[in-house]
Amino acid sequence: MQWTGVFPAATTQFAPDLSIDFAATQKVLDNLIGDGVHGLTIMGTCGENNSLEPDEKLKVLAASCETAKGRVPVIVGVSELTTPRAVKFAADAARIGADALMVLPAMVYVPKEAELVAHLKAVAAASDLPIMLYNNPTAYRVNISMDVLRELTDVETIVAVKESSANTRRYTDVVNAFGDRYIMMAGLDDVAFEGLTLGAAGWISGLTSAFPQESVELVEALQKGNMARALEIYRWFMPLLHLDAEHDLVQSIKLAEQIMGRGNERVRMPRMPLTGARRAEVTAMVEKAAATRPSAR
């Protein structure tokens, strides 16, 4: 498992009746691989994990692994209401062929730190797959604190942290506290540049689903030390990257995919497609970005 480069937070595609469109989902993933991404993150927030039934999750994972065919690693979200359900899914994911797990706190319930540690340790014990913890205190009301990370240092399979808070100081704090124990991954699009320059090894990206080539070039420019080119792309990208920090990020990203001819905007309730002024606003942003995209080099 190589934790470097761009890992789009891929969407799950739905048919008009809102059943899973497996062919369309596989096409989305295959196109992303063809555009040069370094891995796939499936069934995270953008993949609408918590809108899928248990059997659907297994089928989406199997279809994703079939599409990847070992060309890039597949990271799958583990996002469940209870610890036993999360443990079961982690074991199933290993059996089906996932390369790594992105593990969230249990949904809905806000745990005490001891409960959070116990949950994460239980999921880690369910398989030998490497684990990336998903820290998103704004969306999920749970912060994977420094004390929690300290309690998990002896769990060898917990190797990475997706940092989706806007607190960029975390990158430095984690390194200062733990050295190279945890691989940091930038997880919030509109501070991804900051995270990558502060030591993140890669980017788990939402808007890459609409603009994969620019996302890959941004990270590669930083890896090559071409700060001017990286800033050019980042500043062009920023209006769209802000969408990743909004509560309607899934609808916005799927609409962007649709406008760019890369997918459809259908989502499952309680989410609903954007309408009215918000839809017009996001559409205008995507169309402007498409018309002004940095020329490929």
Please tell me whether residue 241 adopts helix, strand or coil conformation. helix
Q: Residue 12: name the closest of 209, 261, 166 by CA.
A: 209
Give the Cβ contact number of residue 110 at 10 Å: 11
Residue 57 bears catalytic tag: no
Considering the candidates 57, 134, 171, 254, report the single residue annotated as catalytic. 134
The phi, psi pair for 134, rounded to 5°, reads: -110, 105
Q: In what order do the strands lie in the sheet with 158-163?
A: 5-8, 202-205, 183-186, 158-163, 131-135, 100-103, 74-78, 40-42
Catalytic residue among 140, 162, 234, 254: 162
Helices 227-241, 212-223: crossing angle, 10 deg rounding = 140
Q: Is 204 annotated as a binding residue?
A: yes
| Active-site annotation holds for 162 | yes
Q: Closest Cα partner for 264 from 104, 4, 27?
A: 27
In whole angstroms, give the CA distance from residue 105 to residue 290: 36
- Between CA 8 and CA 33 the distance in angstroms is 10
Q: Which residues are catalytic?
A: 134, 162
Annotated binding site for pyruvate: 204
Annotated binding site: 204
